Amino acid sequence: MCHECDLLIRNQLIEEGSKIECPRCGHVLYRQKHNTIHKSLAFTITALILFFPAVTESIMSINMGSNSQYQSIIEGANILLLEDYYLVAILTFMCSVLVPLFRLMILFYLTFSLSLGLFHSSFFWSFRLYHYVEEWGMLDVYMLGIIVSVVKLSSMAEIHPGLGLWAYAGLLLSSILATHTLNSHEVWQLLRHKKQQQTVNRGIC
C-alpha cells in the first residue's frame, strides 16, 4: 500500500538497484538495495560494543568552583530515583537503556541468524516486535537533552565531555545506521521464502 495516497499495489520482485513507484502519485515505495542484512549486522555489533561504555561511563564532568560532578546515564536515572521522581526515573531508564538494548538484541538475533542462512518461526513475531518497540527507544531525545544541558550550563560552569558522551554519540549513530540500512521489504521476502522452503521440505519428508 502506498503511504502517500493509500493505493493498494501488488507485491512484486524487482532487480537490485531498481525501485517501485506508486503509479498514481509517483511516491517511491521501495528500493532494492544490496546486502542490507550483513551491513545492518555490522552496525548492530558496533552499537552493542559501544552500549556498555555509553551508559556506564561519565557523560560529562561539571566543574563549579571547587566542586566537580561526574554522571553517567545510569547514575542519572538512579539520582532521579533517590529524589523520589520514580516515574521519571523509570521512563529515563526504560527509554534510554532498556528499550534500545532490547531493540539491538532483537536486531542482532535476526540479522545474525539470517546472515548464516538460519530460519525459525519466531523470526516473524520478533521482527514485528522490533518495529513495535522502535517508538519507545529515545536515544536521539536523550542526546538532545544532553546538548540542551551543555548549552544552559556552559555560562555557569566548566564542562568537559567524558568517554560516555563519545560512546553514546557512536551508539546513536550506529543504531540509526543499523535501522536505516536494513531493508524491511527484503527481510519479509526472505522470511516468507524461508518459510515456504521449510514447508516444502516437511512435505517431502
What pLDDT band is residue 143 in, cutting at 50, 70 and 90? low
What is the tens place of the pLDDT at every residue in 5-37?
766 666 655 555 566 777 777 766 666 666 788
The pLDDT, as a whole number, for residue 142 is 59
Task: Give CA–CA dist 125/108, Å, rounded.
Answer: 15
| Fold of the domain built from segment(s) 35-204 | Butyryl-CoA Dehydrogenase, subunit A; domain 3 (1.20.140)
> Has residue 41 got a pLDDT over 90?
yes
What is the tens place of the pLDDT at every residue in 148-176?
565 555 566 666 777 888 888 898 899 88
Q: What average pLDDT does the segment 80-85 reach?
A: 80
Identify which has the larger pLDDT, 88 or 40.
40
**DSSP assignment of 33-73:** -SSHHHHHHHHHHHHHHHHHHHHHS-SEEEEETTEEEEE-H
In the chain, CATH 1.20.140 sits at: 35-204
What pLDDT band is residue 185 in, cutting at 50, 70 and 90? confident
Do 72 and 164 meet the contact criterion of CB atoms below 8 Å apart? Answer: yes
The pLDDT, as a whole number, for residue 112 is 93
What pLDDT band is residue 65 in, cutting at 50, 70 and 90? low
Q: What average pLDDT does the segment 90-115 reach?
A: 88
Task: Give CA–CA dist 60/165, Å, rounded.
Answer: 7
